[in-house]
Structure 1
């Protein structure tokens, strides 16, 4: 029934967000609709809307399931975006994951399933 999910997160500054997502996270800018930004990397899309009131746009984030998490972790450590409290580790529920944060304060959990149960893909 469900096929895909796309996070919609806050952007506090359009130019800084475009720079961060393309230079630090390795996403491509797909479109910009008057500050509503759409990025893509490896088939994963991120949408960001302009938020003029930072206090109203807190605590946003998402999980992104990946393959080859070690390579991605090394890339994001080099880019300086790994959350200080989110190093790569094996979680008790079977995911190897790490956390990263963008320039707007959005948090991402990048995870690779090591439990033997893989999310269903098409």
Structure 2
């Protein structure tokens, strides 16, 4: 039996200690320019084709143990853009990985780790 293709995309749902501060961080530091929903307990924001949801939590253990991975193009340009906002993780500088990706990572103000990667082409 042939399997149908039902899965369209994944959207991370990350923890936030303060929804409005989180949205401000993603807008001012990471260039997110679309807000689909925002209240004190939940937010949906986007930049380009990347959508992320945030839920309100009261324990920093949740964001500090959460991450997501974002496929990008023109990673060197994005890296320079985000480097100017001093959000690059100290151990997440831009580099080529042995598994065929060029990637870097950032930490948001709550501790969520966001990894950005672009496939290396031979």
TM above 0.5: yes
- When residues 95 and 56 of structure 1 are mapped into structure 2, their CA distance, relative to the original with a 3 A threshold, is closer
- When residues 56 and 79 of structure 1 are mapped into structure 2, their CA distance, relative to the original with a 3 A threshold, is closer
Q: 1:20 matched to which residue of 2?
A: 25
Secondary structure, counterpart of 2:106 in structure 1: strand
RMSD: 1.3
Secondary structure, counterpart of 1:105 in structure 2: coil
Structure showing greater radius of gyration is 2
Runs of 5+ in structure 2 lacking a partner? Answer: none
Deviation of 1:54 after TM superposition, in Å, equals 1.6
| Corresponding residue to 2:111 among 64, 85, 105 | 105
Q: 2:87 matched to which residue of 1?
A: 81
Structure 1 residue runs of 4 or more that deviate by more than 6 Å after TM superposition: none
Secondary structure, counterpart of 1:24 in structure 2: helix
Following superposition of structure 1 onto structure 2, how do residues 7-86 of structure 1 map, counting pairs within 5 Å? 7-28=12-33, 29-86=35-92
Deviation of 1:43 after TM superposition, in Å, equals 1.4
How many pairs were matched up?
A: 116
TM-score by length of 1: 0.89
TM-score by length of 2: 0.89
